[in-house]
Chains A and B, each alone.
Chain A
Amino acid sequence: MTETKGMDWLAFFRKYRRQTTQSLIIAIIIIPLIRPLGLPLPITERPKAVYAIIETLGPETKVICSMNIAIGLMGDVNPGTIAIFHHLFRRGVKLYIVGFNEDGVSVILEPYILAAAKPEIYGYVYGKDWCVLGYVPGGTVAWSTFAANIRSAVQYDKYGNYIDDLPMMKGVNSLNDFDIILDCGGDHTDIVVQQWADPYNKPYISSAGIGGVTIWLEPYFKTGQLDGYVAGVTQGAEYEQLVGISGRALSTIDGVALSNLFILTLVILGNIMLFKSKVR
């Protein structure tokens, strides 16, 4: 009896493989969201490197942050970026945010990043301690124009203020006037290195998606052109632990772990069944 029932389940799964796998995956992801499991999370080297760099910054440091997160990559990049922002605000640095893709500054920055890492909580005043210089269109050329002369690329900030009216813009004319580069988004490390970090000889850290590790991040990290990076939601969660905040990354990585294990289980079961049918 149980034998035939088992076969029925198998036949059902074969027929509705896509539907069952996808529904089960969603169920498995929801569980740790409601009830976090608190699986252990060892902290790896790369986030530690970024943490050490930001720890050395002080209230006089000027950080230029290029915000280029694509909408599709929000889940992967945002947690790490939010944790880094918390850390920067805690160190009291001056933060200048600018965007070179359509969505980074206009769609993602306020509802997702600044809503989670609120500058006001750290006593930040807009225009004095942080500002958003808005979206600069034009691709690679825009990066180099901005670096050479900020005022030729940007005249007004995101909220329509003339940038010379912002107290923190006084004496800031080119990339030479900043102390460190933070790039959020991370799928154009080559442009940042070629247009900003190398010619102006500034330290450069990045918050990126895990998909870019092999192509965009690790090669530049090995040559020393990139000084540190936080890639993907797992390293984002590690950074949250380093900074000591409880953001969304920690509940996310439980979901990552469970879904990975679920897929692995299905893959192993599938191979066992294939092997059995071959033996038969």
Chain B
Amino acid sequence: MHFSLIVVMFLICMWLISKNITPHFRSLPALESIPELVGRCVETGRPLVFTLGYGSLRTAEAAVTVAGLAIYEEVLKQSIDKGAEVITIINSADHIPLLRGLTEEAYRSKGKPEEIKPENLIFIGGGQYSQIAATIGIMDAKKAGAFVYPGSVAGADIPIYGEHAGTIGAMSLAGMTNVAAWPWIVSIFDYSLLGEDVLAAGCILSKNPIMTTTIWGGDFYRYALVGIILVGVIASWMGINVSIFFAS
């Protein structure tokens, strides 16, 4: 039963990919705010601080970390174009090769490999305690103009970053899949990407038709779920036992 849910999703996506139609996306304010964030940094001459959090790639946090890379790439490319400085706080040792690879690739593709500053990729040891100390410390010392944090978080420390960015006048953007962090990023951060938003961001930014179509597949899947919910709820209200379909 559970596995068939994945297979159905796979088939929907494959069918849509074979149709070769590029879907139209509604606007996501947080993604459209990236030029504003970068522009603000350029205007004020302050750096943009970026972090992916402390989710290790070998755990389930890999999903949001991989998704955060798309936002990193976008932020970095726009910053290179407009001339803003990006300071990247790395807080899990396995992010080092990913972020370094992407940074070098981005500078090279923009034809400015000489502008790479290795000292702007700061490794701070790992774990949430050092992330708290180092992030607010670096934001304060470098007078950050914007703070971007798509990645994993335990949930308790997220208000610190948003509120600190707010008090030093930096604009902030966060994207998390951890449901416990959502109330904070919705209220405290200037722009937020909730759960599926951050996972889909990479596809919306991408020009690859396969990537964009998978998001379309996800929407079809969502409509199917809405159907299942309506039918299942009404059936169980009428006294039919539908829970056997959802046994674990």
Does chain A touch chain B in the assembled complex, meaning CB atoms less than 8 Å apart?
A: yes
- Which residues of the other chain, B, contact A17 by a CB distance below 8 angstroms? 167
A18, A72, A211: the one contacting B180 at CB < 8 Å is A211
Closest chain-A Cβ to B107's Cβ sits at a distance in Å of 36
**A269 to B104 Cα, complex, angstroms:** 51
B230 contacts which chain A residues (CB < 8 A)? none
Whole-angstrom distance between the Cβ of A108 and the nearest chain B Cβ: 16
Closest 6 pairs between A and B when the two form their complex, measured CB to CB:
A18-B167, A72-B156, A18-B163, A17-B167, A211-B180, A72-B154
Within 8 Å CB of B167, what residues of A?
A: 17-18
Interface residues of A (CB under 8 A from B): 17-18, 72, 211
List A contacts of B180 (CB < 8 A): 211
B178 CB, min distance to chain A CBs, angstroms: 12
Within 8 A of A (CB), among B124-170: 154, 156, 163, 167
A18 CB contacts on chain B under 8 angstroms: 163, 167
Q: Which residue of A lies closest to B156 (CB)?
A: A72
Q: How many A-B residue pairs have CB under 8 A?
A: 6
Q: How far is the CB of A128 from chain B (nearest CB, A)?
A: 39
Taking Cβ atoms with an 8 Å cutoff, the residues of B that contact A are 154, 156, 163, 167, 180
Return the chain A residue nearest B248 by Cβ: A194
Smallest beta-carbon distance B61→chain A, Å: 14
The secondary-structure label for the interface of chain A is helix
* A17 and B167 alpha carbons, distance in the complex (Å): 8
Q: Write out the residue numbers on chain A whose beta carbons fall within 8 Å of the beta carbon of B156.
A: 72
**For residue A194, which residue of chain B has the nearest CB?**
B248
Contacts of B154 in A (CB 8 A): 72
Q: Would you give the shortest CB distance from A70 to chain B, in whole angstroms?
A: 9
Complex CA gap A105/B33 in Å reads 46
Cα–Cα distance between A249 and B156 once the two chains are bound (Å): 21
Q: Which residue of A lies closest to B179 (CB)?
A: A215
CA distance A72 to B154 in the complex (A): 11
In the bound complex, residues from chain A placing their C-beta under 8 Å from that of B163 are 18
Q: Which residues of B contact A72 (CB under 8 A)?
A: 154, 156
What's the least CB distance linking B112 to chain A, in Å?
38
A34 vs chain B, min Cβ distance (A): 27
Cα A211 to Cα B154 in complex, Å, equals: 12
A17 CA to B163 CA, complexed, in Å: 11
Query: In the bound complex, how far is the Cα of B167 from the Cα of A211, in angstroms?
Result: 27
Chain A nearest CB, measured from B229 CB (Å): 18
Residues of B within 8 A of A211 (CB): 180
Distance between Cα atoms of A211 and B183 in the complex (Å): 13
* Nearest CB on B from A185, distance (A): 14
A232 to chain B, nearest CB (A): 14
The chain A residue sitting closest to B166, CB to CB, is A18
Chain B residue at smallest Cβ distance from A211: B180
Alpha-carbon distance between A18 and B154 when the two chains are bound, in angstroms: 23
| Nearest-Cβ distance from residue A22 to partner chain B, whole angstroms | 10
How many Å from the CB of B140 to the closest CB on chain A?
A: 12
Complexed CA–CA distance, A17 and B168 (Å): 11
Q: How far is the CA of A72 from the CA of B153 in the complex (A)?
A: 14
Closest to A18 in B: B167
Q: What's the Cα separation between A18 and B167 when bound, in Å?
A: 7
B133 to A: closest C-beta gap in Å: 14
User: How far, in angstroms, from A72 to B180 measured CA to CA in the complex?
Assistant: 15
- Within the complex, what minimum Cβ distance (angstroms) separates A149 from chain B? 25
Q: How far is the CB of A220 from the nearest CB of chain B, in Å?
A: 14
Q: How far is the CA of A1 from the CA of B144 in the complex (A)?
A: 39
Closest chain A residue, CB of each to CB of B168 = A18
Q: How far is the CA of A17 from the CA of B166 in the complex (A)?
A: 11
Cα A88 to Cα B167 in complex, Å, equals: 48
> Complex formed: what's the CA distance from A211 to B181 in Å?
12
Closest to A73 in B: B156
In the docked arrangement, what's the CA distance between A99 and B18, Å?
52
Could you name 6 residue pairs across A and B whose Cβ atoms are closer than 8 Å?
A17-B167, A18-B163, A18-B167, A72-B154, A72-B156, A211-B180
Report the minimal beta-carbon distance from B191 to chain A, rounded to whole angstroms: 21
> Complex: how many Å from CA A18 to CA B156?
18
Question: Closest CB-CB distance, B12 to chain A, in whole Å?
Answer: 30
Across the interface, name the chain B residue whose C-beta is closest to A72.
Answer: B156
Q: CA separation between A72 and B132, bound complex, in Å?
A: 13
- In the assembled complex, the Cα of A116 lies from the Cα of B21 at a distance in Å of 67
How far is A211 from B156 in the complex, measured between Cα atoms in Å? 10
Query: What's the least CB distance linking A101 to chain B, in Å?
Result: 13
- Write the nearest CB–CB distance from A211 to chain B, whole angstroms: 7
| Distance in Å: Cβ of A73 to nearest Cβ of chain B | 9
Tell me the minimal C-beta distance from A83 to chain B in angstroms.
24
Bound together, the chains give a CA A70 to CA B43 distance in angstroms of: 43
Q: Which residue of B is nearest A212, CB measured? A: B180
- Bound Cα distance from A235 to B180, whole angstroms: 22
Closest CB of chain A to B221's CB: distance in Å?
24
